[in-house]
Chain A
């Protein structure tokens, strides 16, 4: 069965719509992001000005609320930027993975907090590393694969919970809801994870190879880079990030149903895109994603304070992400020419 598909194995790993690499892209030339920075600058300026005119926007309580909102999405989004950088585009199974991980946490929580977190992280890592192996070693299409995993994990979540709510046997988790120095624990973890992932991307061999593989998987393979292994590492770290989010989700809700993950899939992907990571892979950073998550939280909060409905907030969020996507694309194309 030699079809026309065989020579497109590179395109297959990049996900749909990304096939059209018109010219060979140069690696490691930092693209100038003039347009993107201009748009973000205008948005931030607009937020500051309307914020100044909004009652209670510039207050300590509100800053805390924004950071807490950013943490709930940001930790997962940082993980999701890793798989986007390595060229696996997006995962459509984030919410289901988080739900299963949260259930693992609540089931094991009475063994002690440390043990439970460790087991949850291992569960999250396992769930995504398998998918990473299929993408990295076999060039499986990440979109189809993660839709399949979403079904499998959603089924698993309903099955292990018997379709009802999972309650913890003890209250060991309450330490996670503490607010040292007035900020939720999750915010400190968010900053910590952002710094660690940024360090991995910039200073470790695997991290730097992620960019190369995302740029051009076929070339990376030809150059002898361990494409499969590095892809698995990126996905495994992604799973760790989802598991950490799930631990906080479970602790915050003190129970889990099969719909606990909610809209995490879309929210995290939107934050990654708003941070200016290119869907085709090879570009992006943990700190930029952190910025994207904070920006979305900031704007949602501002719109909420000014009395806009949830629908209007979503509309603005979608348009913001669309503008950033267009700006990132245009600025990267200019460099390539």
Chain B
């Protein structure tokens, strides 16, 4: 057990989820309100779009990239689904996912073939996608007038689930199977860990990267599409907040920004932690800034764990202590 938890990709999400679940159970006791099944349903509703973004961003982070554009694809997917899916909800989702995958494939192609760092590429694509979304809608929110689809995506299934949260959970299940039981998972970690070595070892780096960004774009577009069905409207500019929360979730999920580390189930734990935390804040009506400070604190811990300089300093201090004791 100790060995199982010794690795940061298991330890960080495990601890994060444990702490948040404990807070989730005990916070209502402290304020006197009872935890209802509806709270869990709501937390999972928040988890649904966040989880898809976290998964998309997280798998690119495992391979040592950072796909900032997911929040642009998310906005575009939501808008396309609303505009093309007024009569057939399925068609809207299909268009959104196809365009999201295409955007991802183009970016993955640029990043892999030209060997450009992903941050500036995805940042500029994010700006362009935001512009495209806004141009498509004339800068306004678009209403979705298909109440059947809106009701369906949020319908309660098995008390606490909804089709939306089940789709997200299914995406995590598929990712866990693919990353855990095929060579793709090992290859992604190899690409993130040492790209040159993995290329030499025969990993098809370019093809993997293109596939990775395609999946990440498709997941983000799917998340945006389902969310705008649920809200019955699409927002042309969601801001950076969804991206930042997804990054928090991925980091709490034990993924490292330097790449080479991370598990699909860790990402799931990270996304659940952030969604539960948001729901706790809503139940006990914490002021907005305390949640922000809490996220900051969590991230500072993550930064500390991942900072090589700090770790060396701590190790040196410990070695001095040990030498002094002898």
Contact = CB atoms under 8 A, between A and B. Distances in A.
Interface of A: 1, 3-6, 8-9, 11-12, 15-20, 22, 89-90, 92, 134, 137-141, 143-145, 147-152, 154-156, 158-159, 163, 265-266, 269-270, 273, 279-280, 309-319, 321-322, 325-326, 329-330, 333
B132 interface: yes
Contacts of A279: 117, 119-120
B307 to A, nearest CB: 4
B119 A92 contact: no
Given A138-B310, A151-B292, A314 B130 contact: yes
Contacts of A144: 247, 251, 257, 299, 302-303, 306
Contacts of A159: 289
A325 B307 contact: no
A11 B311 CA distance: 16
A139 B308 contact: yes
A3 B236 CA distance: 43
Nearest to A95: B240
Given A309-B135, A322-B128, A134 B116 contact: no
A321 B123 contact: yes
A222 to B, nearest CB: 14
A326 B110 contact: yes
15 contacts: A1-B8, A15-B66, A17-B118, A22-B115, A139-B308, A141-B257, A145-B299, A148-B299, A154-B289, A163-B287, A270-B124, A318-B130, A318-B131, A321-B120, A325-B124
Contacts of A151: 244, 292-293, 295-296, 299
B244 to A, nearest CB: 6
A333 B143 CA distance: 47
A20 B299 CA distance: 26
Residue from A4, A138, A265, A313 having most chain B Cβ neighbours under 10 A: A138
Interface of B: 6, 8, 61, 64-66, 110-111, 114-121, 123-139, 193-196, 236, 240, 244, 247-248, 251, 256-261, 287-293, 295-296, 299-300, 302-304, 306-311, 313
Nearest to A274: B124
Q: Max chain A CB contacts within 10 Å: which of B110, B128, B195? A: B128
Contacts of A317: 127-128, 131
Contacts of A329: 114-117
Contacts of B307: 12, 134, 138-141
B131 A313 contact: yes
Of B115, B261, B292, the most chain A CB neighbours within 10 A belong to B292
B127 A266 contact: yes
A11 B194 CA distance: 11
Contacts of B304: 140
B318 to A, nearest CB: 12
A312 B261 CA distance: 39
A5 B258 contact: yes
Contacts of B120: 273, 279, 321, 325
A270 B123 contact: yes
Contacts of A154: 289, 292
Nearest to B118: A17
A17 B114 contact: no
A279 B124 CA distance: 12
Given A155-B293, A318-B125, A309 B257 contact: no
A17 B306 CA distance: 16
B106 to A, nearest CB: 10
A16 B134 contact: no
Contacts of B110: 326
Contact of B124 (A3, A90, A156, A322): A322
Given A12-B308, A134-B307, A144-B303, A19 B124 contact: no
A80 to B, nearest CB: 12
A287 to B, nearest CB: 20
A321 B124 contact: yes
A147 B299 contact: yes
B317 to A, nearest CB: 13
B196 A20 contact: yes
Contacts of B139: 309-311
A329 B111 CA distance: 11
A5 B256 contact: yes
4 closest Cβ contacts across the A-B interface? A318-B128, A311-B134, A314-B131, A315-B131
A273 B287 CA distance: 37
Contacts of A1: 6, 8, 311
Given A17-B65, A321-B127, 4 more contacts: A147-B299, A309-B138, A318-B130, A321-B123
Contacts of B136: 311
A148 to B, nearest CB: 3
A278 B304 CA distance: 27
A312 B135 contact: yes
Nearest to A10: B308
A197 to B, nearest CB: 21
A145 B130 contact: no
A311 B196 contact: no
Contacts of B287: 158, 163
Contact of B308 (A6, A22, A270, A319): A6
A318 to B, nearest CB: 3
Nearest to A11: B258
B26 to A, nearest CB: 23
A138 B261 CA distance: 20
A140 B302 CA distance: 10
B132 A147 contact: no
